[in-house]
Amino acid sequence: MGDVAQRTEALIERLAAAGWLTQASIKEALRDVPRHVFAPPVAWTGEGGRVRKRSAPEAWLDLVYGDDALITQLDDGATDLAAGAGHFTSSLSASSTVVSLLELLDAEPGHRVLDVGTGTGWTAALLSRLVGSENVVSVEVDPAISERAAANLKQTDVSPRLVVGDGARGWTREAPYDRVHATCAVARVPYAWVEQTRPGGVIVTPYAPGFGSSHELRLVVMPDGTAVGGFAGYASYMMMRKQRHPEWDPSGRPAERTTTDVDPRTIGYAPAGADLAMGRRCRACAPGAYATATPTPCGSGGRTPGPAPATSPAASPSRSSRAGPGPSGTWRCRPTSAGSPTAVPAATDSA
């Protein structure tokens, strides 16, 4: 195969030029942990044809070191990835989203990190380079995915602890953590993550309320058992399995034509803060209503409003840079009176 080191440097240069990558430690981690080790032998972005490593090694490397997510599982493993079509349920995330969340995490050597969603193992490997393998615990709900990640990691010189379990519950045996990093989106921040993070520790996760855009959420854990933070940009990831949004099926439902004074573009092109506010209201009054909004993309380089369909890649690069305008406001995560996990907006900017 071609020069992997050259492709890695080109990837780093593109990520840095686009503003995704600024930290020298993450650049070094990318050099030390080659992405292709964690890529499936049949590379597929979910669009176009599949590229096989055996028959087209150079084209396979080009795709791996591009900035697309590569699908690694369909229908929770029930459908053959090499030939089938179905719901995308796991992937090797796009490089830009991976480094963006890692920069928000701001992990340092010696930090203890809980990584939720092992996937291919690439992010767990990068975290191991950043803080030390002995300080990383990576939890994966799917035993088959965890097994493949373990095989991938054996080809490197890092060895994070891999656990098969429910990532929403964290992993109490190694708590407390300095950092919690999630590679799956949540609509509700599991309070177990807050409980298992030390005061002053950081939680970084994709947040997908089920309406409009999905977001990068960064929380800081407070001494009183709450976590406070805000949204740094857009991030499109697959949902945590136990928090998947229901699919909306309009078949068999009566149709009604109505008019409104609200221009549809007001909703379709609303800023991210408005997405968050509307999503919260829609969830409260009509679960599943998120699927009724179908705005069109905002153009090249912009965000794609509206919920990602169930067959979207885990980490779509089609979103705005963190440096651009994004959602604002303060969010506080705390347990509800019933003890269930929740994320509650203390103040959001919907304009």
Domains of the chain, with CATH numbers? 95-242 (3.40.50.150)
Mean pLDDT of the chain: 80
Q: State both tokens at 245.
A: 């949004």
Q: How confident is the model at residue 234 (pLDDT cuts 50, 70, 90)?
A: confident
Q: State both tokens at 93.
A: 């995330």
* The pLDDT of residue 256: 81
Q: How confident is the model at residue 95 (pLDDT cuts 50, 70, 90)?
A: very high
Pairwise CA distance, residues 45 & 59, whole Å: 13
SS3 at position 264: helix
Pairwise CA distance, residues 211 & 208, whole Å: 8
- The residue among 61 and 279 whose pLDDT is bigger is 61
Whether the pLDDT of residue 39 is over 90: the answer is yes
Q: What is the pLDDT of residues 328-347, one digit of tens each?
A: 445 566 665 444 444 433 33
* Residue range 246-261: mean pLDDT, rounded: 78
Catalytic residue numbers read: 93
Task: Enter the pTM of the model.
Answer: 0.80
Cβ-count burial 260-272 (b if 16+ within 10 Å, e if not): eeeeeeebbbbbb
* The pLDDT of residue 29: 97
* Residue range 165-190: mean pLDDT, rounded: 96
Sequence-distant (6+) residues with CB within 8 A of 160 are 115, 124, 125, 127, 128, 133, 136, 137, 138, 153
Q: State both tokens at 2.
A: 């071609």
CA-to-CA separations, 176 to 98, 104, 179, 180, 188, in angstroms, rounded: 24, 19, 9, 10, 21
Q: Could you identify the residue written with the tokens 């009724």? A: 292
- The residue among 227 and 285 whose pLDDT is bigger is 227
Q: What is the pLDDT of residues 267-277, one digit of tens each?
A: 778 777 777 77
Residue 177: strand pairing partners:
197
Whether the pLDDT of residue 112 is over 60: the answer is yes
* The pLDDT of residue 78: 83
